[in-house]
Amino acid sequence: MSRYLTDEQQKIREIKENKKQYLDLLLLADEQEDMIDRYLGRGIMYVLDDNGIKAECVVTDEGDGILEIKNLAVTPDSQRRGYGRRMIRFLADTYSGRYDILQVGTGDSPLTVPFYESCGFWRSHVVKGFFTEYYDHPIYEGGRQLVDMVYLRMSLTSETDRK
């Protein structure tokens, strides 16, 4: 399959080796290294380079046509400049036709949930107590302790669902 990539997609590349070199960036999205270790080895990692690494993401095949974003982080000085949205667009374009659903699990935070919803995700389900059960310390985001994991989904089967 021949594809022409846009300028912004050309800056996104897969990392196949030494993924832990980006640990500082990974820890922005997932504060506990042993939790990152659970998916990093089996995940596909991408970085966005725009005169330096600005963002990364890790996705995993969860079966049944579901691709899950396990980690998506943007460097603090590059946040709110469209890099996270660009990564999501890249994933949707790259995996459309190969997967039915792009899914992400995140804390019930006033910072992350609205971001994903603005990218075309909808709330799917909640895993109660996820952060208090699996993390060895309380995690706070936007002034709120994260307790439950909120799953959001985006269809990869219809272009109109991915505006």
The pLDDT assigned to 142 comes to: 83
The residue-averaged pLDDT of 51-60 equals 96
The residue-averaged pLDDT of 61-88 equals 97
Q: What is the mean pLDDT of the chain?
A: 91
The pLDDT assigned to 111 comes to: 86
Decide if pLDDT at 26 tops 90: yes
Neighbouring C-beta atoms of residue 51, cutoff 10 Å: 6
What is the pLDDT confidence band of residue 4, given thresholds at 50, 70 and 90?
very low
pTM for the whole thing? 0.87
What is the pLDDT confidence band of residue 2, given thresholds at 50, 70 and 90?
very low
Does domain 7-162 match CATH 3.40.630.30? yes
Is the torsion defined by CA of 134, 139, 141, 144 positive or negative?
Answer: positive
Q: So where are the chain's domains? A: 7-162
The pLDDT assigned to 3 comes to: 47
pLDDT in tens, 94-117: 999 999 999 999 998 888 999 999
Decide if pLDDT at 1 tops 70: no
Q: How far apart are the first and last CA of the chain?
A: 24
Neighbouring C-beta atoms of residue 113, cutoff 10 Å: 18
Decide if pLDDT at 67 tops 60: yes
The pLDDT assigned to 54 comes to: 96
